[in-house]
Amino acid sequence: MFENFVLETVVTGRGPIRLRHGGSGPTLLLLHGHPRSHMTWGQVADLLSADFRVVCPDLPGFGRSYKPVDEPNSRFSSKREKGLALVELMERLGHHTFFVAGHDRGSLVAFRMAMDHPAAVRKLIIIDGLPVIEHLERTDWQFARDWYHWFFFAQPDKPERAILADPVAWYSTLRPDLMGREAYDELVSLIHDPDVVHGMIEDYRAGLRIDHHHDREDRAAGRKVRCPMLCLWSLDDDLAQIYGDPVQIWKRWAEQVEGNGIKSGHHIAEENPVALAAALAAFCRRS
């Protein structure tokens, strides 16, 4: 994976960010979800690199990127702060405008980048995600049952202790046959690192402490994503089963939305990279 990509760490004003980048053409930034690192994108990045300059960072708080400083409201782990760091990263790489696609927790950062930095984001692709406030306001018994980790991870101390007691058991669905051995071995190493686990959990705490306030403020002010947006979701996961058609929800937040499901489980970049890469390329190529 990541054939002819460069692995490096770029120092931003908020801290160092590890990334791989390669390929040629218009720039596409890919943001991973929980508990992954940039390595989850390896197969997709190779498929896209002939037509796009692909940038795959570890999100702040994840992987080998910087871990935000703790605050009672988790503001440095907010998606707004992470978006700022990633816009700076792209500028340091010489990319002042770019497409951005985010999966899972990365979708929240991608959404915030498009909202806060409309001059930088040319198109937005959301994969298996909704604004935090939509999740919280639509919470019912099914969400609480199946996505209970949102609320467990919001608690102090206990999530880290539970995960670090047996990280491989906690993340029991990791599959080296899908991820690739290199990505699997690195992820096993990462989930045994207390700093990484804490950084990932703070991302969830920020969602319930501060991110939803940013969403609510935008909604009250009537702000929407102005660039074209594509919404994708995994057909064998439960986002659409819990909430209905994600496109209809995203129309409340973006001026131009289209979307469809893709046959896959939740970790779509690993489970169906060909279909995902094709969907990203088709949407970004379209004028």
Convert the pLDDT of each residue in 105-162 to its tens digit.
999 999 999 999 999 999 999 999 999 999 999 999 988 899 999 999 999 999 999 9
What span, in angstroms and rounded, lies between the C-alpha atoms of 109 and 115?
Answer: 10
- Residue 1 is assigned to a structural domain of this protein: no
Q: Whose structure tokens read 């160092």?
A: 16
How many domains does the structure of the chain reveal? 1
The reported pLDDT for the residue numbered 227 is 98
d(CA 241, CA 235): 9
Residue 36 lies in a domain: yes
Question: pLDDT tens-digit profile of 6-65?
Answer: 999 999 999 999 999 999 999 999 999 999 999 999 999 999 999 999 999 999 999 999
Count of C-beta atoms within a 10 Å radius of residue 195: 10
Query: For the domain that residue 255 is a member of, what is the CATH number?
Result: 3.40.50.1820
Domain range for residue 102? 6-285
Q: Does residue 246 lie within any of the structural domains?
A: yes
- The verdict on residue 172 lying in a domain is yes
Q: Which residues are annotated as catalytic?
A: 104, 266
Please state, in angstroms and rounded to a whole number, the distance separating the CA atoms of residues 246 and 57.
26
Domain membership flag for residue 19? yes
Residues sharing a CB contact under 8 Å with residue 26, sequence separation 6 or more, in sequence order: 52, 53, 98, 99, 122, 284
Residue 179 lies in a domain: yes
- Cα 154 from Cα 77, distance rounded (Å): 13
Task: Return the SS3 of 175.
Answer: coil
Determine the pLDDT at residue 54: 98
Residue 281 counted as domain residue: yes
**Domain presence at residue 147:** yes
Q: What pLDDT does 61 receive?
A: 98
For residue 78, pLDDT over 90 is answered with: yes
Question: What is the pLDDT of the chain when averaged over all its residues?
Answer: 97
pTM above 0.85, yes or no: yes
The pLDDT, as a whole number, for residue 287 is 78
Report the pLDDT averaged over residues 220-225: 98
Segment 219-233 mean pLDDT: 98
CA-based max dimension of the chain: 50
Cβ neighbours, 10 Å, residue 177: 8
